[in-house]
Chain A
Amino acid sequence: MSLGGLITKEFGRIKSDKRTLILLFLIPIILIFIFGLTTGVGPTKFFTAAIITMDDIPTYGDFPSNSSEYDDNFISIMQNNSTTWTLHQYFNSTDENEYISAYIACYNLLKNEIVDIFVVLPENFSESVAKKVNPILFYYIDGSDLSAISAVEVAIQEPIALFRAEADLLANFSIMVPYLEFDVPFWESQLLNYAVPLILPIIILGTTMNLTSLSIVSEGPLPRMLITPTTKRDIILSKLIANSVIMFLQSTEIFIMTSFFGLYSLGSLFYFFLALVMIGFCGICIGLFISAVSPTEQGANQMYLIMFIVIVLFSGNFLPPELISPVMQYIINVLPLSHAIPLITDITLKGLPPNLTHIAFLNLDSLIFIVLAYIIYKFKRLEV
């Protein structure tokens, strides 16, 4: 056969593999389309804030407490005039004890992601504004949410600008940002502990998907196995169980290794382990789906790669979700890593119990993929 003949044969083979052609040409179009939606046409996100005002605590004898009105103005702007902010709640603290209870309440709002920041207006806020000296504003932000920090810092400039215009204030604000990172003690491994919530779910999902994505398609004797009393349900189930055992071992290993190298978790280690197992199980279900739907090993490899990239890219940690269209946000919200990463973050860095929404979505993903895998495999024509 001549070289021309070999080349023609290759073209013929590629042409006959419709799935490869779809992956080759359709996926880039889909990705370009999705990225196209991210360039400035996405909706503006509304951030939510809480405010503690200490402005009613007089600081100077010559400045009567009833003159402290600027804090009300600021609160009003946050509540009514700002296009980017929603005021969840404000607290008026007239003494130290009230401030402490307001601070605890706000801390919990922040920790539970009900608010994005909480602002503290200090005792001398109105005085500073009235005297046209630069007023100080504190805001507390969740430092564990890296993607939100910059967005919040930009967004807070809007109500400040509105306030300065209303108060005819030339001086700018001095902003104090005591980050609440729910942080890791200095003696623990900073790199490991900050990387854990991001890296672990990606690794577990990726490896478990990889574990199972070839398990059906590459097993030659499987169709012959169906000329025994074995059913397709048995085959899927046995793979699910065997791979889950492997995944359980993998999760245990990861758990032990991270603990050994200084995992600092504010939350329960049991919850942390449970989250690892749920993420791994989801990966197994996605992998089995890939293996059931793919006609060849090559097809399964390609599908695995594409699905993994999409899941990682749209986990909310690489592309800011607020810049993506609402329709796409719904899709992103269903993807497993969009829930796996916050789930681990909540447990390790914030000490929260597992978020039920994240758990529900993660397990829903697993259920959908395993059911799809079974249905597809059941109707797949297999001949020996």
Chain B
Amino acid sequence: MVESSTEIMVDVNNLNVIFDKNHIIHDVSFKVKKGEIIGLFGISGAGKTTIIRVLTCQIEKKNWSGNVTVTNFSPDKKQNHPLILHNIGYVPQLELLNLYYELSPLANVEVFSSTYGLDTKEAKKIAQELFKILDIPSDTWNKRVKHMSGGEKKRLSMAIGLIHKPSVLFLDEPTTGVDASKRYSILSYLKKLNQKLDTTMFIITHDLEAALICDKTAILREGRMLEFDSPQNLINSLPSNGLVARFEINDLNEAKITRISEFSPVKKVLRVGNEVVEILMESFEENLPKLIQYMIERGVTVNSMSRDSASFRRFFQIRIQEEEEREKLKKNIGEA
């Protein structure tokens, strides 16, 4: 992990976004230091893209409130927009929105670098460096983009976003629509770029594997930020620092899950397969044998058992589930 500096690149305090009486973002606050990779996670409609749109000057000030600075400039002033846009890069989800397919990669570089006032020679030099880091084959540099493979287009899109050496790079769903093996390679390319260029990166995604390269992760749900911390800290906040007992149970059903949940040290039972549950509990080492005993006594047949550390995916699942349960409860109380 890169040692982060203390320089704040993005500072968001009490951000609220309202469109036609629809409150989209509620009091979101966070700070991002130089060189950090931030992952904004959440299911569709969580408000990830809206936050990025505020930070990239795409939403008019009349629709949002709060104190926001990006590279020390606030997007609330129109005159700051060119300064902010000069300091940031953007990689959209679809390459179609970022690349001119009828042009070559180098011609694309020329188009975008010219918008930042970069000299063509200098831009080509930077592009070639980026192309090398991103393993874009040199024989494709002068061919039309439409002849490139999907992965090459994705990497070219990243290179275009970085062509002017921005302080902050925003990436919208960089791994969406990419098969599993390539997802990891894209994430590793991003990490490589982050390490070589010290660029702060903002990744909007619902691909939870992206947390692997993130220094900090934000979990959003219905416009509210539920968590903002490093993935490990979040996992450690789970009972017993995120230690998980995984059981394969015969004829697993809701009644059996409820029975397991009734064992007092158990904090969470997650059904993760047809006959598999993962259990989080207080004082893991001490209570695990007791739990097994408890399950046997209550006729819950365990076929196999293993222990593991919770992943960020599991933390996300637990956190979202908790929030849903809390809301359900609130609704029930309200109705009563």
Given the interface pairs A383-B58, A384-B58, A384-B172, the reply to whether A227 lies near B85 with Cβ below 8 Å is: yes
B53: CB under 8 A from chain A? yes
- Return the CB mask of B106-130 against A: 1 if under 8 Å, else 0: 0000001001110000000000000
Residue picked from A221, A230, A383, most chain B C-beta under 10 Å: A221
CB proximity to A under 8 Å, residues B73-128? 82, 85-86, 88, 90, 92, 94, 96-100, 112, 115-117
> What are the residues of chain A within 8 A of B98 when measuring CB–CB?
221, 224
Expressed in whole angstroms, the Cα–Cα distance for A72 and B100 within the complex equals 76
CB proximity to B under 8 Å, residues A265-316? none
> What are the residues of chain B within 8 A of A220 when measuring CB–CB?
94, 96-97
- Once the chains bind, are A229 and B82 in contact (CB under 8 Å)? yes
Number of interface residues of B (CB under 8 A): 21
Given the interface pairs A221-B98, A384-B90, the reply to whether A227 lies near B116 with Cβ below 8 Å is: no
B261: CB under 8 A from chain A? no
B56: CB under 8 A from chain A? yes
Cβ contact of A227, chosen from B90, B96, B99, B117, cutoff 8 A:
B90
Minimum distance in angstroms from B3 CB to a CB of chain A: 30
- Return the CB mask of A77-109 against B: 1 if under 8 Å, else 0: 000000000000000000000000000000000
> What are the residues of chain B within 8 A of A227 when measuring CB–CB?
56-58, 85, 88, 90
> What are the residues of chain B within 8 A of A357 when measuring CB–CB?
none
- Once the chains bind, are A229 and B115 in contact (CB under 8 Å)? yes
CB proximity to B under 8 Å, residues A209-230? 220-221, 223-230
Minimum distance in angstroms from A268 CB to a CB of chain B: 40
Size bin of chain A's contact surface: 10 to 19
Cβ contact of B116, chosen from A221, A224, A226, A229, cutoff 8 A:
A229
Given the interface pairs A224-B90, A384-B92, the reply to whether A230 lies near B97 with Cβ below 8 Å is: no
- Once the chains bind, are A228 and B172 in contact (CB under 8 Å)? no
> What are the residues of chain B within 8 A of A229 when measuring CB–CB?
82, 85-86, 115-117
Closest to B56 in A: A227
- A to B contact number (C-beta, < 8 Å): 40
> What are the residues of chain A within 8 A of B112 when measuring CB–CB?
225, 228
Residue picked from A220, A223, A224, most chain B C-beta under 10 Å: A224
- Once the chains bind, are B116 and A383 in contact (CB under 8 Å)? no
Expressed in whole angstroms, the Cα–Cα distance for A109 and B90 within the complex equals 66
> What are the residues of chain A within 8 A of B82 when measuring CB–CB?
229
- Once the chains bind, are B116 and A384 in contact (CB under 8 Å)? no
Expressed in whole angstroms, the Cα–Cα distance for A230 and B85 within the complex equals 9
Closest to A226 in B: B58
Expressed in whole angstroms, the Cα–Cα distance for A93 and B172 within the complex equals 87
Minimum distance in angstroms from A175 CB to a CB of chain B: 63
On B, residues with C-beta under 8 Å from A are 53, 56-58, 82, 85-86, 88, 90, 92, 94, 96-100, 112, 115-117, 172
The 3 closest A-B pairs by CB, nearest first: A228-B115, A227-B90, A230-B115
* 26 A–B pairs (Cβ distance < 8 Å), ordered by A: A220-B94, A220-B96, A220-B97, A221-B98, A221-B100, A223-B97, A224-B92, A224-B98, A225-B115, A226-B58, A227-B56, A227-B57, A227-B58, A227-B85, A227-B90, A228-B112, A228-B116, A229-B85, A229-B86, A229-B115, A229-B116, A383-B53, A383-B58, A384-B92, A384-B97, A384-B172
Q: A228-B85, A228-B116, A230-B115 are in contact. List 19 more A-B contacts (CB 8 A).
A: A220-B94, A220-B97, A221-B97, A221-B98, A224-B90, A224-B92, A224-B97, A224-B98, A226-B58, A227-B58, A227-B85, A227-B88, A228-B115, A229-B82, A229-B85, A229-B116, A383-B53, A384-B92, A384-B172
